[in-house]
Copies of this chain bind each other. A is one copy, B any other.
Amino acid sequence: MKDQNQTRFHLHESDIPRFWYNMNADSPVAPTPVFDPVTKELISKDALETLFPLPLIEQEITMERFVPIPEEVREIYKLYRPTSLIRARRLEKALDTPAHIYFKYEGESPAGSHKLNSAVPQAFFNKISGTHAMTTETGAGQWGSALAMACKMFDMDLEVFMVNASYLGKPYRRVIMETYGAQIFASPSPRTKTGRSYLEKRPDHPGSLGIAISEAVEVAAESEGKKKYGLGSVLNHVMLHQTVIGEEALKQMDMAGEYPDVVIGCVGGGSNFSGLVFPFVREKLKGDKRTRFVAVEPTATPSLTKGTYGFDYGDSAGIVPILKMYTLGSDFIPDPIHAGGLRYHGMAPILSGLYSAGLIEAVAVGQRAVFEAAIQFTQTEGILPAPESAHAIRTAIDEALDAREKGEKRVILFNLSGHGFLDLSAYDQYLHNGMINGKLPDEQLEGITDRLPKVKI
């Protein structure tokens, strides 16, 4: 029902999309090949099948424009979808801007972020493919929480390798995953060969995302097909699943009687941004829209604005497949900023392609300015954002201020990908203890090209 005066725009349950949208069907950039991290040759289906079930591999390579969403997945989506589109009227007023600011609120998901949109189908397709249990790693914790919930929904076990520093410093994240029934290992763990080798060297090892990925992949690879690995971003099938965000937002903007001039999202691996943006890119490619798309990354991990476009490992340990993407180098060590979900060296291949083609803009913002925006948002709209999502808020506010300066009406849409209830220690630090801005030491960029793996094209 159209009603421009509303603050929150709700769709009916029957409006939950029945298809995921595959950007590869319309992108002007052809899909790029995937290479085996060991042989450096084109990866075999068998190698992929040690990690992922067949239906997800098919989604990874399909060129179909629309991929049907199984009813079993839509049943779980009904627990929280369609999510609200909200007009930030109080923020607009505080900024004294002629711009209209809308946000899609994915923090309404019970697991707290958009990650559930891919966790649910990943768990489902594993379940119907005979997978007994899943394995994954988690740093910031949003992906681990989402996959823990999704696995429980399909009555499947999950082993999560949680970076030891996070395990010790973010106990609430561990507990929510346990409440969903997952088994959590502080990584490095005695559970795997990889973990034991690190523990021998240093019993109190703080861990890293690279080690945690290695452990999760090792458990899957050595399970004789019983266990498979789940990844929360970067891969094509993850981007595909996230497009439910944008498909809903298209309908909701229509309810509001407006169309966005600019669509904004934060980017780590790229999944929440792609999920909101791809359906709007499709509409733009049809020819009659002038929408801009802005990917917001931290100054600490500026893979789009400062990275190199080339083939690189998807992980820092060099054991998952090699993908073509904007990258800061897989050996890159980011400043310890609080938006843990954005501390990734690369960028999803599909999104990297669109960026290389000039369809997407990118901007890097500092952590202090991000938290300033987060607090202004919390104090006007009431919702406490995750530090990751607050990057999108920063840029949405900057767009609104720019519109004010130019005296132009501008319709802004951004993705509020998650809430910040489990990130309050970051707010505490900002309010009381000072906070670094986060930057990229330039020397880390030197000679990146030489350090990328040499794939056999």
Interface residues in chain A, defined as those with a beta carbon under 8 Å from any beta carbon in chain B: 1, 3, 6-8, 10, 12-13, 78-80, 86, 90, 108, 110-112, 149, 152-153, 171-172, 175-176, 178-181, 375, 378-379, 381-384, 419, 421-422, 424-425, 427-428, 431
Contacts and interface: CB of A to CB of B under 8 A. Distances in A.
Contacts of A178: 427-428, 431
A152 B379 contact: yes
A357 B8 CA distance: 41
A383 B149 CA distance: 10
A282 B250 CA distance: 42
Contacts of A175: 424-425, 427-428, 431
Given A7-B79, A78-B7, A382 B13 contact: no
Contact of A382 (B6, B149, B172, B379): B149
Contacts of A111: 382
Given A8-B13, A13-B6, A428-B171, A110 B179 contact: no
B431 A382 contact: no
A181 B378 CA distance: 10
B1 A7 contact: no
B176 A384 contact: yes
Contacts of A172: 172, 421, 424-425
A146 to B, nearest CB: 10
12 contacts: A7-B78, A10-B10, A108-B108, A110-B382, A110-B384, A172-B424, A175-B425, A176-B384, A176-B421, A178-B431, A179-B431, A422-B424
In the A-B complex, the 6 residue pairs with the smallest Cβ-Cβ separation, listed nearest first, are A110-B382, A421-B421, A172-B424, A7-B78, A175-B424, A175-B428
Given A172-B172, A172-B424, 6 more contacts: A79-B90, A79-B382, A90-B153, A110-B384, A179-B431, A181-B379
Contacts of A80: 382
Nearest to A76: B382
Nearest to A379: B152
Contacts of A110: 381-384
- Indicate the member of A112, A172, A180 with the most B CB atoms within 10 Å: A172
A184 to B, nearest CB: 11
Nearest to A181: B379
B179 A384 contact: yes
Contacts of A108: 108
Nearest to A9: B13
Nearest to A422: B421
